[in-house]
A and B are shown apart, each in its own frame.
Chain A
Amino acid sequence: MKGRSNRRHRWFRARIAILGVGLLCVAALVLVRAFQLQVVGGDRLREMAEGQHLRLLRVSPRRGAIYDRHGAELAVSVDVDSVYANPRRLRAMDQDPARTARRLAAVLDVDAKQLASRLATDRYFVWIARRVTPHEATRIAELDIPGIGLTTEARRYYPNRHLAAHLLGFADIDGRGIEGIELAFENELRGSDRRVEAIRDRRGQVVFADETIDDLSKEGQNVVLTIDKAIQHIAERELALGVRTFEARGGSVVVMDPSTGEILALANYPPFNPNEPSKHPTAHRRNRAVVDRFEPGSTVKPFTMAAALTAGAVRPDQSINCENGVTRIGGRRLHDAHPYEWLTPTQILAYSSNIGTAKIALELGKRDLYRSFRRFGFGDSTRLGVPGEAAGILRHYRSWYEIDVAAVSFGQGMSVTNVQLATAMSAIANGGRLMRPTLVRRITDARGATLEETKPQVRRQVVPRRVAKLVGEMLTAVTEPGGTAMEAAVDGYLVAGKTGTAQKADYIHGGYAKDKWLASFIGFAPADKPSVAISVVIDEPIIAHYGGTVAGPVFRRIAEVTLRHMGVAPDRGRAVLAEMKEKPEAEPAAKAAPTGAIEDGQSSVPDVRRLPLRRAVLTLHAESLVPEVSGSGLVVRQDPLPGSVVSHGATVRLQLDRRSLDQKATVSPKGSPSLAAAVPRRPHEP
């Protein structure tokens, strides 16, 4: 028995050995296979594996912010929620695409049918709605549908909405600059994109990246503008008011620090909200002050004068025969709006005489006029650095005929941009030194350290200091009683400036359009120690079209607030005069007793007599009445009479007259400046 058992035991041992060897063979086979998979074929398999879980990510650093000169945020990037779906997970969780789409459409502004088809796809990720509101995000989260998720994305946000919108421009949904500063400083703001190898899981979500992003130097840089948010706000508000009051098509304002060339405000109308640029027509997004070129008209007369004074073509005390308003130059008839006999250079500017300016220019000669204008920066881009800046056109003098010399001398047959005008006028204000206009003060990195700083840059001494001074003094006559822009005078400050009332070229019929005007006023204050230069251009005003009437008040309001904001002390000596001038405005428009019961949709016509035009127009607007204006100066007659009850939208005819102003000015107890006394009655400008 035991023998058998032993024999069996030996056989058992043999079999154990066989099994052991067999299993070890399997182990060897497994090892060979592992070697084949991992060492021999490893690269190919690894590539396949990487193909499914490696993805190159474009890591966009946070876009830099845009600040005003004092650090107020103008454009920032904020994290907002976006809604996405994982259709595979939806299906795995037995969510019906159509039903889910309907539930989502109830919260979000999306098409349910279209969404349903996207949810029915065989994908791991589809966008449902990007950059939703916090409210929508909350509601989506509350729905709590498996497979529907929220993720954060950066959105460009302009906290001041329309403020400086034309200048800032805007960025698209992926944070790329499309317009304005956003486009011009795209490289700085965006920072450097980096391609980072990231690992994603099977659902396509990034699990981790091989390098973390902590290198601030690659973050988007911040742009600090020269813009002052407060001045910008005032400029936009007053521009809008001016444009609307005179029912103009649009307009722009440039506010500049003449000593540095820094642009403190750059306003355009109509406005747009860069937070939703697509909701505004392209025309509204145009940065008119930089992009639009126009025939400047009389506003260039100071530059003609400065050139002539520099060259000695005219003396300040010389008298020039203005031919009673009509003359012939180069075979063409030349008109002044009002006839004058003999005018001094100061008077030529104050009354804006075309004939006087043309004669001075002819005396100067076309070569010197051309060169001087070029030196003032006309016909040449200011290189402001914003997209689409126009250079304007100033033809070479060799192609000028005599009439062209005359035309250019008072701003016809050439085109400029508002920024060019402001820059050139700043040169007058700045003792003849033309500064390079700047919009950007400095570039800072993500930590706020300055990377690049813009220093004021003198481009050239255009005219000698004394000439610039002289022209500046002459220009104060413009805003003084008798000048073309009394409305531009600022309480307590001496203001130098020049009006422009240019007829717009008629591109269809040739020549100039009869009823399309471009009203402008460019000036600086205080005239003797300029702190600010402001250029106001109003395009196609309807109610009135004179530069002084339309653009002058816009200038005044902006200058007032800006000077106060900049802490420039008023010149007390001038305050009394200004008070006198302002008197009629200081009085509220008399609320005339209505002659009958006023019903809904009706107004009692207010008494606007003795008010300046702007004031009168605003008063009428407040009562929903439409002014119809003739003449300029103060309102002397109105129809219907005060107190009449009329329906809303009724027309009130206003007769204005300058004389009433002059009378007021001359009765001033302290007397008006000597100039005003010397000025003959009522100048008018072309």
Chain B
Amino acid sequence: MSPSSKPPPMRPGSIDVSLAATFVGLIAFGVVMVYSASAVYANRMYGDGMHFLVRQTIFASVALLVLAVSSRIDLSLLRRLTYPILLIAVVLMVAVALGLGRSAGGATRWIRIGSLNVQPAELAKLAMVLWLVHSLTKKAHRVRTFSIGFLPHVLVMALLMLLCLAQPDFGSAVMIALLTFVVLFAAGAKAGYLLGGVLVALPIGYAAIASSPYRMRRIQAFLEPFKHRQGAGYQITESLMSFGSGGWAGVGLGDGRQKLLFLPEAHTDFVSAIVGEELGFLGVTALCLAFAWLVFRGLRAAWRSPDEYASYLAAGMTLFIGLQAFTNLAVAMGLLPTKGLALPFVSYGGSSLLVNAAAAGLILNVSRFAVEPAEVAVKSVKRKRVKPRMRTAEGGAR
């Protein structure tokens, strides 16, 4: 289906400004909240209350750079980088699984590169989605088949999940599975396969949980947090109390008390609890609306993009951010069992921040090539063949 003539490159439109503002706003908000949540802890641990603030500020600066680059990157170039990125992710994951990483809290989730601690699982999630988007675009209508459209993706997914579980990082494993299924669904995989996959996954998931006493305890703690307040339910009850302490408008930025070593990981996975305590229900609502807006605008970019790869990419990246965000919030509020999952842009951590910034940049990138819905609608009514008069990612590869 190669076009008869190479179309002149389409002049990219302007990026989605409100979406870009949302990303930048969330990153800035994250820096503030990380400082508020970590100052006491940092002072105790490092004798320097600004320990995490300084680092998060540096990460944020780099993240803005990554965001800018990825929002302008040539998508065909990105597509060519799909396999190298996946390979790097797998290699790092294997390295961690082999015990070359750094341990913290009973799990080995980091690997040292130079002077940086990298969390390969974050990269693996992004690499998985990037690869899915590439692969599904390439396979086009064969997506609905089992052997080509379904099985290979599930196998790669299974590989990455196993590597996650080896760390162990149950949260990332589940997130990879969730992202895979959602993107498969978006790309048109047969619903029956997906459902079957879920049905197969359930007993495996149960086995994974039941085989590990600590996961089992977490499930029990999730079901009855206050009954296990002194044990596995400690973190979640502290988190719930943080939210509860906030009330309508919160106790005020910086005045939270749960971060006084009561709430573990207040500046990382449970930063939303501190948001809830210090900024109250209004703050949490604003945060939710920001992510909801992000999802809406991201999917809108996917919707409006005339290019299949770009569409899938925007959708995948939006789901990548949105799913993690709402899962994190749901976990912090006790709607889902506890697992290590960062709140995109807000939680402390360079790997998560940079990966999410890259994803955000790619959404913005796609948003530049929007076709007005009216135009598309008119075209489809007139049954005109749409000749994408743009430099498509696909075209670049031919």
Q: Any chain A CB within 8 A of the CB of B246?
A: yes
- Minimum C-beta distance from A216 to chain B (A): 28
Q: Any chain B CB within 8 A of the CB of A195?
A: no
A2 contact set on B, CB distance < 8 A: 1, 385-386
> How many Å lie between the Cα of A207 and that of B39 in the bound state?
13
Q: Any chain A CB within 8 A of the CB of B82?
A: no
B323 contact set on A, CB distance < 8 A: 23
Which residues 166-204 of A sit at the B interface, judged by CB distance below 8 A?
Answer: 199-203
- Cβ-closest chain B residue relative to A27: B292
> How many Å lie between the Cα of A207 and that of B315 in the bound state?
47
B214-244 to A contact mask, C-beta < 8 Å, 1/0: 0000000000000000000000010011111
Total count of chain B residues near the partner, CB < 8 A = 54
- Cβ-closest chain B residue relative to A1: B1
Q: Any chain A CB within 8 A of the CB of B151?
A: no
Which residues 94-146 of B sit at the A interface, judged by CB distance below 8 A?
Answer: 140-141
Known: A16-B302, A27-B326. A38 touches B248 (CB 8 A): yes
- Minimum C-beta distance from B345 to chain A (A): 16
Total count of chain A residues near the partner, CB < 8 A = 46
The winner among B243, B248, B291, B326 for most chain A CB atoms within 10 A is B243
Known: A12-B187, A13-B303, A31-B285. A199 touches B246 (CB 8 A): no
B245 contact set on A, CB distance < 8 A: 42, 45-46, 49-50
> How many Å lie between the Cα of A624 and that of B188 in the bound state?
115
> How many Å lie between the Cα of A20 and that of B318 in the bound state?
10
Q: Any chain A CB within 8 A of the CB of B171?
A: no
Q: Tell whether, in the assembled complex, residue A201 and residue B1 are in contact, meaning their CB atoms are under 8 Å apart.
A: no
Q: Tell whether, in the assembled complex, residue B243 and residue A37 are in contact, meaning their CB atoms are under 8 Å apart.
A: yes
A24-59 to B contact mask, C-beta < 8 Å, 1/0: 101101110111011101111110111011000000
> How many Å lie between the Cα of A8 and that of B280 in the bound state?
44
> How many Å lie between the Cα of A23 and that of B322 in the bound state?
7
Known: A9-B308, A31-B288, A33-B333. A202 touches B247 (CB 8 A): no
Known: A5-B308, A16-B303. A45 touches B240 (CB 8 A): yes
Q: Tell whether, in the assembled complex, residue B386 and residue A6 are in contact, meaning their CB atoms are under 8 Å apart.
A: yes
Q: Tell whether, in the assembled complex, residue A53 and residue B257 are in contact, meaning their CB atoms are under 8 Å apart.
A: yes
Q: Any chain A CB within 8 A of the CB of B281?
A: yes
Select which of A9, A49, A202 is within 8 A of B244 by beta carbon: A49
> How many Å lie between the Cα of A202 and that of B41 in the bound state?
11
B315 contact set on A, CB distance < 8 A: 12, 16, 19
Select which of B182, B237, B247 is within 8 A of A38 by beta carbon: B247
Q: Any chain B CB within 8 A of the CB of A15?
A: yes
A622-640 to B contact mask, C-beta < 8 Å, 1/0: 0000000000000000000
Q: Any chain A CB within 8 A of the CB of B46?
A: no
> How many Å lie between the Cα of A13 and that of B373 in the bound state?
11
- Minimum C-beta distance from A234 to chain B (A): 55
- Minimum C-beta distance from B42 to chain A (A): 13
B386 contact set on A, CB distance < 8 A: 2, 6
A200 contact set on B, CB distance < 8 A: 260
> How many Å lie between the Cα of A129 and that of B333 in the bound state?
44
Q: Tell whether, in the assembled complex, residue B247 and residue A42 are in contact, meaning their CB atoms are under 8 Å apart.
A: yes
> How many Å lie between the Cα of A200 and that of B188 in the bound state?
55
Q: Tell whether, in the assembled complex, residue A26 and residue B187 are in contact, meaning their CB atoms are under 8 Å apart.
A: no
- Minimum C-beta distance from B333 to chain A (A): 5
Q: Any chain B CB within 8 A of the CB of A512?
A: no
> How many Å lie between the Cα of A318 and that of B219 in the bound state?
111
Q: Tell whether, in the assembled complex, residue A34 and residue B188 are in contact, meaning their CB atoms are under 8 Å apart.
A: no
Select which of A9, A11, A24 is within 8 A of B292 by beta carbon: A24
Q: Tell whether, in the assembled complex, residue A20 and residue B260 are in contact, meaning their CB atoms are under 8 Å apart.
A: no
Known: A31-B288, A203-B261. A45 touches B241 (CB 8 A): yes
Q: Any chain A CB within 8 A of the CB of B366?
A: no
Judged by DSSP, the binding face of A is helix
Known: A11-B188, A46-B244. A5 touches B140 (CB 8 A): yes
Select which of A20, A26, A44, A48 is within 8 A of B299 by beta carbon: A20
A333 contact set on B, CB distance < 8 A: none
> How many Å lie between the Cα of A44 and that of B241 in the bound state?
9
B289-327 to A contact mask, C-beta < 8 Å, 1/0: 101100110010011000010011001000100110010
Q: Any chain A CB within 8 A of the CB of B284?
A: yes
> How many Å lie between the Cα of A38 and that of B276 in the bound state?
8
B58 contact set on A, CB distance < 8 A: none
Q: Any chain B CB within 8 A of the CB of A670?
A: no
Q: Tell whether, in the assembled complex, residue A38 and residue B322 are in contact, meaning their CB atoms are under 8 Å apart.
A: no
Which residues 179-229 of B sit at the A interface, judged by CB distance below 8 A?
Answer: 182, 185-188
Select which of A6, A19, A37, A50 is within 8 A of B380 by beta carbon: A6
- Cβ-closest chain B residue relative to A13: B303
- Minimum C-beta distance from A36 to chain B (A): 9
Q: Tell whether, in the assembled complex, residue B284 and residue A49 are in contact, meaning their CB atoms are under 8 Å apart.
A: no
Q: Tell whether, in the assembled complex, residue B326 and residue A44 are in contact, meaning their CB atoms are under 8 Å apart.
A: no
A12 contact set on B, CB distance < 8 A: 186-188, 308, 311-312, 315
Q: Tell whether, in the assembled complex, residue A19 and residue B244 are in contact, meaning their CB atoms are under 8 Å apart.
A: no
A509 contact set on B, CB distance < 8 A: none
Select which of B243, B262, B312 is within 8 A of A52 by beta carbon: B262
> How many Å lie between the Cα of A331 and that of B303 in the bound state?
131
- Minimum C-beta distance from B379 to chain A (A): 9
Q: Tell whether, in the assembled complex, residue B244 and residue A34 are in contact, meaning their CB atoms are under 8 Å apart.
A: no
The winner among B246, B285, B319 for most chain A CB atoms within 10 A is B246
A202 contact set on B, CB distance < 8 A: 260-262
A4 contact set on B, CB distance < 8 A: 141
B338 contact set on A, CB distance < 8 A: none
Q: Tell whether, in the assembled complex, residue A19 and residue B182 are in contact, meaning their CB atoms are under 8 Å apart.
A: yes
B330 contact set on A, CB distance < 8 A: 26, 29-30, 33
Known: A39-B248, A49-B245. A199 touches B257 (CB 8 A): yes
A31 contact set on B, CB distance < 8 A: 284-285, 288
- Cβ-closest chain A residue relative to B249: A38
B243 contact set on A, CB distance < 8 A: 34, 37-38, 42, 45
Select which of A27, A38, A43 is within 8 A of B288 by beta carbon: A27
Q: Any chain A CB within 8 A of the CB of B258?
A: yes
Q: Tell whether, in the assembled complex, residue B335 and residue A29 are in contact, meaning their CB atoms are under 8 Å apart.
A: yes
B155-194 to A contact mask, C-beta < 8 Å, 1/0: 0000000000000000000000000001001111000000
Q: Any chain A CB within 8 A of the CB of B63?
A: no
Q: Tell whether, in the assembled complex, residue A37 and residue B295 are in contact, meaning their CB atoms are under 8 Å apart.
A: no
> How many Å lie between the Cα of A46 and that of B256 in the bound state?
11
- Minimum C-beta distance from A38 to chain B (A): 4
Q: Tell whether, in the assembled complex, residue B244 and residue A38 are in contact, meaning their CB atoms are under 8 Å apart.
A: yes
A52 contact set on B, CB distance < 8 A: 241, 262
Known: A8-B140, A19-B319. A34 touches B281 (CB 8 A): yes
- Cβ-closest chain A residue relative to B273: A37
B21-59 to A contact mask, C-beta < 8 Å, 1/0: 000000000000000000010000000000000000000
Given contacts A23-B326, A34-B288, A48-B237, 6 further A-B contacts (CB under 8 A): A1-B1, A8-B140, A19-B299, A37-B333, A52-B262, A201-B261
Chain B residues engaging chain A, CB cutoff 8 angstroms: 1, 40, 140-141, 182, 185-188, 237, 240-248, 257-258, 260-262, 276, 280-281, 284-285, 288-289, 291-292, 295-296, 299, 302-303, 308, 311-312, 315, 319, 322-323, 326, 329-330, 333-335, 380, 385-386
Please, could you name 19 A-B residue pairs with CB atoms under 8 Å apart, sorted by A? A6-B380, A12-B188, A16-B186, A16-B303, A19-B182, A19-B186, A19-B299, A20-B299, A23-B322, A27-B292, A30-B330, A31-B285, A33-B334, A34-B288, A38-B276, A38-B280, A38-B284, A46-B241, A48-B241
Nearest 10 interchain pairs by C-beta:
A45-B244, A202-B261, A201-B260, A49-B241, A38-B281, A37-B243, A20-B299, A27-B292, A34-B284, A46-B245
